A and B are shown apart, each in its own frame.
Chain A
């Protein structure tokens, strides 16, 4: 049992994600607080801070801040703070679909 502990207490802190596969690819990043942005991943660090090039922020509806609307604004070259990031996903691998759980009220 002690051996298991040694294994999980490695001195080096290895990251559980590998962002190198996203380098120079377009990614969609979601933040705490509801903001979303897309951009080309140019760099990152251990703490998940990101460098995004040509970043676009997707703005929320004025009436309903929980809904991401169609409006965007260009930000350019940005640093995204790792402490605020919740999701990093490939931009190409996503599409919006109709709600598959739509008939949940039974």
Chain B
């Protein structure tokens, strides 16, 4: 369980009634998530967990490369996805249309 200590986060007032992005990702643990990278790569998998840098542990992963249009590369088992190049996260997402 990831607990974020809001007091430490900062005194800049992020009004607590807004939805925190990492909370949304946390709610997605156990479900499918669609991860869009900075380049033309996208990953869909079941989210096992993530860390402060949003490196992610995913299972039952399908990898999509958009440009060459050889869209699918399927990997099973568990992967550690380096968070460095993650651009967008879509909780419950299915991935790009096949």
Residues of A within 8 A of B (CB): 12-15, 20, 23, 31-33, 35, 37, 42-46, 49-51, 55, 57, 73, 75-84
Contacts and interface: CB of A to CB of B under 8 A. Distances in A.
| Number of chain B interface residues as a range | 20 to 34
7 contacts: A12-B11, A20-B15, A44-B18, A73-B96, A79-B24, A80-B89, A84-B86
Interface of B: 9-15, 18-22, 24-25, 36-39, 54, 83-91, 93, 96-97
B18 A35 contact: no
Given A12-B10, A79-B24, A79-B25, A42 B19 contact: yes
Given A73-B96, A77-B24, 17 more contacts: A14-B10, A15-B12, A20-B14, A31-B87, A45-B20, A45-B21, A46-B9, A46-B10, A51-B24, A78-B89, A78-B90, A79-B21, A79-B24, A79-B88, A81-B87, A83-B83, A84-B38
